[in-house]
Structure 1
Amino acid sequence: MRIELTGKKALVTGSSQGIGLAVAAGLAEAGADVVITGRDAAKLRAAADSLDAAGFAGTVTPVAADLSGAAGAHALFEAVPAVDVLVNNLGIFEPRDFFDIDDEEWLRFFEVNVLSGIRTARHYLPGMVENGWGRVVFVSSESALQIPPEMMHYGATKTMQLGVARGLAERMAGTGVTVNSVLPGTTFSEGVSDFVVKMGANAHLSPREQTDAFVKEHRPTSIIQRAVGTEEVANLVVYLSSEQAAATTGSAVSVDGGIRRAIF
């Protein structure tokens, strides 16, 4: 199966590194012209340069914007009025005991992990409906279904993403626009590996080996017994962004290595 997205414009939020950057690469390789976003303009420019150097068929355009607030979202919409594919990847996580999470922190996680995606979907979906074609993918987490007790604020926001995505899919019925979620498990990305390395265990191992060891110890139900690769998550997102995935909508699709012990 060859996925062809030539002529489509895609936006991937939170894409200067990790899953977002891998998704941008996959979409550009399939021919889409991709907009990547992040708060750090220099880091974003370096990410765009790295994708340009790969020689993908699609172009890559960096737009620096802080999507944790309405002002940053408005700046993005001014720069990028319409897209065909929207990947809401922006997200933050941080282990913290429930009794240490104050109201401000709960609101910060909601603003970044949930409301940023609501704002972008609210802006871009009408144009997709008018064109009769569009794809929206929310990058959630297996933590949406198995709330981690050490990160309840993170898990709760990821569950909310699933609710928003399912509701939007039903709202888009019959329009040619699909809305889905993907649920990665522990993924070997800069953020996750930095977190694992800071834990200090297995310091004699490489970051990748430490992350895999973390999965084996703290996510023992993983069937693949290792961290998921960012490109493995990206492959699923790119498929859901394609014409071939036209009959998949309103779904929450796992790419967690089998961590969650469930048939469906």
Structure 2
Amino acid sequence: MDMGLCGKTALITGSTKGIGKAIAIELAKEGVNVLINGRNWNEVEQTVKEIKTQFPSTSPLPAAADIADTQQREALFENHPEIDILVNNVGTYEMMQYEYLTDEVWEKYFRTNVLAANGLCKNYLPRMLKNGFGRIVFIASEEAMMPSGLMPHYAMTKSMLLSLSKSLSKMTKGIEVTVNTIMPGPTLSENVHQIITGMFPNEGLSFSEKEMKFMESSLPQSELQRFIKPIEIGRLTTFICSPYASAFKGSPIRMDGGMVPTIF
């Protein structure tokens, strides 16, 4: 299906691996010129080459920067002043007990998961409003609605993104610009794949069997009973970025595999 995005330009933060890379690939499939972002220049360049090889009709570009750093963010704006789509995917997470969370940890998570995304929006949203078209998508988590208690600092920042998305959406009234948040559930990132692969080493299980065993023991509330694939999130994000999704405004969009037990 043609999503009507050919020729658009998209910045996807944290797009050298995992969910971000999957989003970049799915957008590139639709003819979008993707800006690949990450802190490691070599990883950014490699991802650009991969996407260019797969989709030679598009023009992926490197956008290496630590977006949590104000100066690097400003340099990014100078190099790429105009975009049509912004996917705020970058986020840091780690399981930590509440009593061990120092002010420095809280500040780090707020700066990386919230202020960096807000800084990008503050620069690009006014330009989108002026141009009459734009898409901003925040990648949050089911933790935003259903904090597990294992990552209170992370859950707090993801809840903030829901509020920020709704506030910014108010600015798009009557304009073909949308701001939305996607909330994935547990996702099969590269790190998760390695962790699951290393589990149950003496039982001769296939990866899918290990995955199911882990789900049954650790995530029994999941109705999907497998990890969400990054490509699935990439496809949903691509749709939300398309003209076909114009009616989604300020929406919290759940893709949690049934993790959240409530209707709302």
Note whether the superposition's TM-score is higher than 0.5: yes
Is residue 257 of structure 1 aligned with residue 257 of structure 2? yes
Which residue number in structure 2 is paired with residue 15 of structure 1? Answer: 15
Cα distance change, pair 57–257 in 1 and its aligned pair in 2 (3 A)? farther
The RMSD of aligned alpha carbons is 1.8
Cα distance change, pair 72–203 in 1 and its aligned pair in 2 (3 A)? farther
Q: Distance in 2 between matches of 1:213 and 1:123?
A: 45
Q: Distance in 2 between matches of 1:135 and 1:65?
A: 21
Cα distance change, pair 49–134 in 1 and its aligned pair in 2 (3 A)? same
Which residue number in structure 2 is paired with residue 146 of structure 1? Answer: 146
| TM-score under structure 1 length normalisation | 0.93
**Residue-pair matches, total:** 262
Q: Which amino acid aligns with 2:29?
A: E
Deviation at 1:197, TM superposition (A): 4.8
Secondary structure at 1:202 match in 2: coil
Confirm or deny: 8 A CA contact 2:28 2:55 kept in the other structure. no
Cα distance change, pair 211–123 in 1 and its aligned pair in 2 (3 A)? farther
Q: Which amino acid aligns with 1:255?
A: M
Q: Distance in 2 between matches of 1:91 and 1:212?
A: 27
Confirm or deny: 8 A CA contact 2:33 2:59 kept in the other structure. yes
The within-5 A match list for 1:10-159 is 10-55=10-55, 57-159=57-159
| TM-score under structure 2 length normalisation | 0.93
Secondary structure at 1:221 match in 2: coil
Instruction: After superposing the two structures, state which structure 1 stretch, 171-180 or 25-34, moved more.
Output: 171-180
Secondary structure at 2:119 match in 1: helix
Cα distance change, pair 192–158 in 1 and its aligned pair in 2 (3 A)? farther
Confirm or deny: 8 A CA contact 1:182 1:254 kept in the other structure. yes
Q: Which runs of 5+ in 2 are unaligned?
A: none
Cα distance change, pair 68–208 in 1 and its aligned pair in 2 (3 A)? farther
Q: Distance in 2 between matches of 1:216 and 1:171?
A: 44
Deviation at 1:23, TM superposition (A): 0.3
Q: Which amino acid aligns with 1:250?
A: G
Q: Distance in 2 between matches of 1:64 and 1:206?
A: 37
Deviation at 1:262, TM superposition (A): 2.1
Is residue 231 of structure 1 aligned with residue 222 of structure 2? no
Instruction: After superposing the two structures, state which structure 1 stretch, 202-211 or 92-101, moved more.
Output: 202-211
Secondary structure at 1:254 match in 2: strand
Is residue 202 of structure 1 aligned with residue 200 of structure 2? yes
Secondary structure at 1:154 match in 2: helix
